[in-house]
Structure 1
Amino acid sequence: MAELPNDVVKALQALLPADGLLLDAAERLAYGYDNSRRQGLPLAVALPTEAAQVQAIVALCRAHRLPIVARGRGTNTTGASVPGEDALVVSFERMNRVLDIRPGDRVAVVEPGLLNGELQAALAPHGLFWPPDPTSAGFCSIGGNLACNAGGPRAVKYGATRDNVLALKAVTGTGELVEFGAATTKGASGYDFSRLLIGSEGTLALIVEATLRLTPTPTHRRALRAIYADVGSAAAAVARLMAQPVTPSMLEFMDGDCVRLAREVGGADLPADAGALLMIEADGEAAVLDAAEAALRRAAEGPGCLSVDAAASDAEREKLWAARKALSPSLRTLAPGKINEDVVVPVSRIPELVAAVRAAAAAQSLAIVCFGHAGNGNLHVNILYDPADAAQCQRADAALETVFDAVIALGGLVSGEHGIGLVKRELLARSLTPPTLALMRAIKAQFDPDGLLNPGKVLPPA
């Protein structure tokens, strides 16, 4: 299908606002890529402003067998929002309202196009926040967070997106508006389809409204910086930290190369001989933070620990976190190409994962840089190579296979928060059993019987 049939164009123009359908190739191009660097040119882009329009779009597309790709702000890294050339993109950027904030219930009702950062700003006067805080929080959408079950540093204490949503409204592949959950923190009334939709990457339904579970903003924070002689010592400390009673609000891991980049590129005040670093944070009322800090400090200390220091000020703490968030783009200074994977294993097996990554790096003579949300067992493994060098490309692929084999053997998953999309689709066949995949395909068929919602994403071919 080279272009939309004229009758479909007229029908879409009739149901959308005057400027709600983009047909010009230059405008469509901006909706054809995401942070995976993959790209496709959709047939058109629809910009609905209300749920009824989304229903009508889906019904029309179903009648004409037209694939639909939902889109937030395109910050995902797995190709999940890259359309095929026969697809209509439905962008939710104009469905971006805060519909309600109820501090007494600790809930906010929002539309999917609202930016995470805009939501946090609206909640701040109420002394509340929504915990998911991916690196792209300032410019990613709530709908995108829902689509891939986004996490971030705070997930170690407060959970990822799935743990902070109470109810959803969504449009299925048949055009029906369905509602799941309620604005309550308890419920035992049928199947929990809200949690099923979260992380489904637009393959089951198009979310048009979300009731979010909010958390009171902590009054105080304490940050510790623990320096280790090597990555093995830091990985062992992660297991100790998560085995004791005080849950850190953040627990981030950086290997030696990351420490150097944070110092040289990010401007963080870090020692030159650091082999690895843990960024540890506790939050809560001032009365309990002394004891929490002491417990975390004791757990962080141990074999290979060179120092554990408290941040001297909030400004110093923020500078270190800013350096951490700048790590991914700064890796381009080490090599022209990188493969960035966000694998996750049980926290107690972090030391084994780090050892496997180091072995893969040595075996393939490549730099592999690790950082990430160690408190959840979620590490970003970055394989650095030169895409113009065929031999390095082969070695990078071999290193990646070794890492995935180790993750699966350790009882982990191939994605902790980035999702599956196109990039990791075939890996599901290795990490999930055939009966499990068959059940997932059956669920997909119930929500989307014609297979029109984000086709080709997440599930590998049968």
Structure 2
Amino acid sequence: MLSDRALAAFRSALGADRVFDDAATRAVYACDETPRRVEPDAVLFPTSHDEVVALARIAFEHRIALTPRGAGSGNVGGALPAPGSVVVSFECMRRVLEFDPANRLIVVEAGVVTGEIDRIARSAGLFYPPDPGSSTYCRIGGNLAMNAAGPRAVKYGVTRDYVLGLRAVTGSGQEIRTGCRTTKGVTGYDLSRLLVGSGGTLALITEATLKLLPAPEAVATLRVCFNSNRAALDAVSRVMQQAVVPCALEFMDHRAIDAIRPTGAADDLPPGTRALLMVEADGAAEDVPRQIAALEQALAGDGLLGMKSGFERDEITLLWTARKSLSHAVKQIAPLKINEDVVVPVSQLADLVDFIDHTAHAHRLAVVSFGHAGNGNLHVNLMVHPDDADEMERAHLAHDAILLRVLALGGTLSGEHGIGTEKRRFVDREIDPPTLDLMRAIKLQFDPHGLLNPGKLFPD
């Protein structure tokens, strides 16, 4: 537990009402969306950059590990406290510090909800492209930590692509600023891109200067049904080889469709539908119909059962019903979801899905796959009963086999969820020893005592 001296120092720096070491608060912040729990020694709620500097310096002096946390919506243990650590929750740092439509940028604190950034941008005819599924409640600090993305990443890229600059605090309590306010700039090393995706292991990001884009005038949607996973994923390859880049290209496998059938969300799908694609185009209003026609041509092929288009808001909402109902429907299969977030080259996606099907059958498991097919980013969900020891053992074997197959196909362990605690034992299968050594050396420069989010990212 924290020493009285350290606790008093934190309270002096933040105020007594921002430092909690009671059992109830520690229990609430003992986990993220993973099933494991580790209670922190205390939870801190800074309200400003200066307070983060102060608490980091106290932690450095007393050798106290810090676990940064946004909304706790991650599912790889990125916000799981290390034993003996203190959670630093950024949920009270919710200020929009600057909104500059003329220069298409916004400056926000780490605790601002991601969807709020997009809402503010759209008030001036702009938008913030990264759109993780949790955007209505996740915090931008967590998005920066994991380099989050979402469906629009296939056209617009990921969070890292919209970071102009950062304000952060290192493990020794040193304040740093990275990047600039312009969209071009090559002065010094690009530390912004280094910090984004580092999972809070290099510095505590307190503020971000983010790039915005002009909002598209129009959006249109296609819901495309196929008789097999492979037919759908072959269509994905065709789409990604032609000139029109969709702003979303989402995939649902046959188990995902089976999961939503009890909800009625699949009632209007053509008979025999075993895979589904959601494809969107956006841009100038007069150009979107041309894009949709090109996408329809690329999607047509063997196994196509039906295609519906929507150009108006109500039509688009109706077409997305099946995909939007999936999250709740999957939870009805089993109480625990082991969620993987893997990426392979688009041309290898069909082979990966075939392997997942065979693995699920061999291990007698319910495995639901869906995701951002245009990027080759697949969310693989092993639905299990945690009180069934045999099923859990089979699930772990299947999970490991799937990750190894991803690497064999030239893929990567994570596209947007991060590594956290859950996948770090596989990292040295993807990254060679000299590169890992260099990464560890960089970590020491930022965090000489290893106090920032220990037990994450790297294998022991």
For the criterion TM > 0.5, the same-fold answer is: yes
Q: Do the aligned residues in 2 keep the contact of 1:229 with 1:306 (CA within 8 Å)?
A: yes
Amino acid at match of 2:432: T
Query: What do the CA deviations read for 1:301-346 (whole angstroms, capped 9, x no partner)?
Result: 1111112221374223224435424423421222343321111011
Distance, in Å, in 2 between the alignment partners of 1:335 and 1:94 is: 34
Q: How does 1:316-335 map to 2 (within 5 A)?
A: 316-321=315-320, 323-335=322-334
Q: Which residue of 1 aligns with 2:211?
A: 213
Distance, in Å, in 1 between the alignment partners of 2:20 and 2:128 is: 33
Distance, in Å, in 2 between the alignment partners of 1:396 and 1:198 is: 31
Assess, with a 3 A threshold, how the Cα gap between structure 1 residues 76 and 191 changes in structure 2: closer, same or farther: same
Q: Which residue of 2 aligns with 1:137?
A: 135
Distance, in Å, in 2 between the alignment partners of 1:433 and 1:28 is: 38
Identity over aligned residues, as a percent? 49
Query: What do the CA deviations read for 1:408-441 (whole angstroms, capped 9, x no partner)?
Result: 0111011111111101110102121111211111
Kindly report structure 1 stretches of 4+ aligned residues shifted beyond 6 Å.
none
Q: Which residue of 2 aligns with 1:64?
A: 62
Q: Do the aligned residues in 2 keep the contact of 1:263 with 1:270 (CA within 8 Å)?
A: no
Amino acid at match of 1:282: A
Query: What do the CA deviations read for 1:3-42 (whole angstroms, capped 9, x no partner)?
Result: 2211212211111134111122112222221111222211
Aligned equivalent of 1:234, options 232, 254, 260? 232
1:263 is displaced (CA, Å) by 4.4
Assess, with a 3 A threshold, how the Cα gap between structure 1 residues 90 and 322 changes in structure 2: closer, same or farther: farther
Assess, with a 3 A threshold, how the Cα gap between structure 1 residues 312 and 110 changes in structure 2: closer, same or farther: closer
Instruction: Verify: 1:32 aligned to 2:30, yes or no.
Output: yes
More moved, 204-213 vs 364-373? 364-373
1:298 is displaced (CA, Å) by 0.7
Distance, in Å, in 2 between the alignment partners of 1:263 and 1:282 is: 27
Q: How does 1:36-435 map to 2 (within 5 A)?
A: 36-265=34-263, 267=265, 269-311=268-310, 313-321=312-320, 323-435=322-434
1:49 is displaced (CA, Å) by 1.3
Amino acid at match of 2:91: E
Q: Do the aligned residues in 1 keep the contact of 2:310 with 2:319 (CA within 8 Å)?
A: no
Q: Do the aligned residues in 1 keep the contact of 2:18 with 2:45 (CA within 8 Å)?
A: yes
Distance, in Å, in 2 between the alignment partners of 1:397 and 1:94 is: 37
Distance, in Å, in 2 between the alignment partners of 1:96 and 1:323 is: 33
Q: Look up the SS of the partner of 1:222 in the other structure.
A: strand
1:127 is displaced (CA, Å) by 1.3
Amino acid at match of 2:401: T
Q: Do the aligned residues in 1 keep the contact of 2:82 with 2:455 (CA within 8 Å)?
A: no
1:266 is displaced (CA, Å) by 6.6
Distance, in Å, in 1 between the alignment partners of 2:366 and 2:78 is: 28
RMSD: 1.6
Distance, in Å, in 2 between the alignment partners of 1:229 and 1:111 is: 47
Q: Look up the SS of the partner of 2:40 in the other structure.
A: coil
Q: Look up the SS of the partner of 1:168 in the other structure.
A: strand
Q: Look up the SS of the partner of 2:221 in the other structure.
A: strand
Distance, in Å, in 2 between the alignment partners of 1:79 and 1:364 is: 25
Q: Do the aligned residues in 1 keep the contact of 2:220 with 2:311 (CA within 8 Å)?
A: no
Q: Flag structure 1 segments of 5+ consecutive residues without an equivalent.
A: none
1:48 is displaced (CA, Å) by 1.1
Amino acid at match of 2:118: Q
Amino acid at match of 1:296: L
Q: Flag structure 2 segments of 5+ consecutive residues without an equivalent.
A: none
Q: Look up the SS of the partner of 2:107 in the other structure.
A: strand
Q: TM-score, normalised by structure 1?
A: 0.96
